[in-house]
Amino acid sequence: MEKILLIDDDDGLIHFLSRFFKRKGYAVMACTTGNMALERIVVEDFDLILLDYKMPGLNGLDTLKQIKSRQVKTPVIFMTAYGSTDTAIEAMKRGAYDYLVKPFERQELSRIVSEALLLNAQMKQVVRLPGAVPPSAASAPATGLQIIGQSKPMQEVYKLIGQVAEKDVSVLIGGESGTGKELVARAIYHHSRRRDQTFIAINCAAIPENLIESELFGYERGAFTGAERTYIGKMERCDRGTCFLDEIGDMSMAMQAKLLRVLQEGEFERLGGRETIRVDVRMIAATNKDLAKEVHNGRFREDLYWRLKIISVHLPPLRRRTEDIPDLVKYFLARFGAEYAKPVRTLSESAMAQLLAYTWPGNVRELENCMRRALLLCSGDIIAEEHLELQAPQQVQTFSPHNHEQLLESLKSKLELLIPEILRFSQSGIHANIIEMVEEILISKALAACDNNQVQAARLLGISRNTLRHRIKRHHEKHLMDTGEGKGGV
């Protein structure tokens, strides 16, 4: 249960807020002076603090300063009376997350509180890298998340994170959807020197184009119709902290220019403001787009691209690291098993084989959802194939360059799965057998696709006609030998 601390000398407001939060399922603690609250936060960790400015004794600003030196990460919402916006802005400069002007609407209160609680959860939920933990012991940590996977490409990712996390440089994270880009961004934050400062994530694709500037850089009162109060943007809120810009490939060119200025000079202006604001923000950006292509097509600034790309981490798709699947399965089953109070289950051999053979277009997210569903659907002890409900591999009708690559990937992952089995049961001669077999299939299918026209088939395969003829002859002879027809004939 999330815990909220109220600091206000107004009994009426405390009463109202306590009831309001308790009804929403939060635990509430109230203190009527700053000093009482400071004693409390030494012994108890809160998820959110609501702090009034005007109190007898220590005022809100001084209390805030003390709070920030103790529970640095707990978001503080500052409450002021109408007409004292300057104090509220000052509080935000000193690290308050947001402010409310009394009297406030329930709706506004709810919105700000849920935003702040989400931020609190994200900042405090540590993402761990697999350290000394052997893969067999991969299980859900008591709190926080863990990045799972011991495959070679993932080991490279961890090495890179280890190298860059503590350095104050910006990082670009690439990879298909669901490969764990956000998880990696959080891991970098938790392993950085800024781990005790704010971490704010912004999804550039989710915020409408006309709102993103004010969201990032804030605005002054009166900057546009409806701008009734000064709004402090996300960049200012994470001064000295880390800003995660998700889906950066979707950012407009105009915003990219402003962002580049923050990266290079550490400065910007609020919308409608004349004052230049200076910030020290570490930027972590992620995208599932090919940014080089975006630059080529004039949709992404080249200078920003190079600036971000200095350190880049690429997350491989799950189909290229199928050896991570058993550990991920174990991890998700342990996590969801605890979440739904269902004892940890295992997978049948054929269910695991199906997971290993699947191509996972939605990557780890798809596997996570698949495991959640399987756990809920399964009533016995073992998860079987029918609980997985994997999408049937899509029939590919056309050979566009895009699905051509996917087909090759799928072939590769199937070979990777089957070849170790073949090795297990074979004695010798495997190399020749497999290569011959693949070649034979390749040639016969190419001939079929070209109506047995050898010139066309050779061109399709990229070999000379002579080589093709030679191979066909050899395969033919081999068959005769195998069936015994050729014996004594040559």
Residues that bind ligand ATP (CB under 6 A): 145, 147-149, 175, 177-183, 288, 364-365, 368
Nearest distance in Å: CB 194, Mg ion: 20
Count CA atoms within 13 Å of residue 316 on its CB side: 19
d(CA 177, CA 363): 7
Hey, what are 35's tokens?
A: 């000093």
Q: How far is C-alpha 357 from the chain's CA centre?
A: 24
The yes or no reply on residue 213 touching Mg ion (CB under 5 A) is no
| Region from 14-22, 114-122, 179-187, 474-482 binding Mg ion, contact rule CB under 5 A | 179-187
The amino acid at residue 122 is Q
Residue 81 bridge partners (DSSP): 102
Nearest residue (CB) to ligand ATP, 144 versus 222: 144
Nearest distance in Å: CB 15, ligand ATP: 40
Nearest residue (CB) to ligand ATP, 34 versus 130: 130
98 binds, among Mg ion, ligand ATP, none (CB under 5 to 8 A by kind): none
d(CA 37, CA 52): 12
d(CA 134, CA 138): 7
Residue nearest to ligand ATP (CB): 180
| Region from 27-35, 182-190, 411-419, 480-488 binding Mg ion, contact rule CB under 5 A | 182-190
| Region from 5-13, 180-188, 266-274, 381-389 binding Mg ion, contact rule CB under 5 A | 180-188
Nearest distance in Å: CB 394, Mg ion: 24
The yes or no reply on residue 366 touching Mg ion (CB under 5 A) is no
Q: Compute φ and ψ for 467, nearest 5 degrees.
A: -60, -45
Hey, what are 435's tokens?
A: 């290569």
Nearest distance in Å: CB 246, ligand ATP: 6
Ramachandran region of residue 79, left (φ > 0), alpha (ψ -120 to 50) or beta? beta
Residue nearest to Mg ion (CB): 182
Nearest residue (CB) to Mg ion, 95 versus 178: 178
Selection from 366, 422, 414, 424 nearest residue 390 by Cα: 366
The amino acid at residue 159 is K
Out of 47, 52, 90, 182, the residue judged to bind Mg ion by CB under 5 A: 182
The yes or no reply on residue 250 touching Mg ion (CB under 5 A) is no
The yes or no reply on residue 294 touching Mg ion (CB under 5 A) is no
Selection from 224, 238, 223 nearest residue 274 by Cα: 223
50 binds, among Mg ion, ligand ATP, none (CB under 5 to 8 A by kind): none
d(CA 18, CA 16): 6
Nearest distance in Å: CB 56, ligand ATP: 47
Nearest distance in Å: CB 226, Mg ion: 31
d(CA 242, CA 167): 12
Nearest residue (CB) to ligand ATP, 7 versus 147: 147
Selection from 96, 95, 99 nearest residue 84 by Cα: 99
Q: Compute φ and ψ for 297, nearest 5 degrees.
A: -85, 5
Nearest residue (CB) to ligand ATP, 101 versus 356: 356
Chain residues binding Mg ion by CB under 5 A are 182
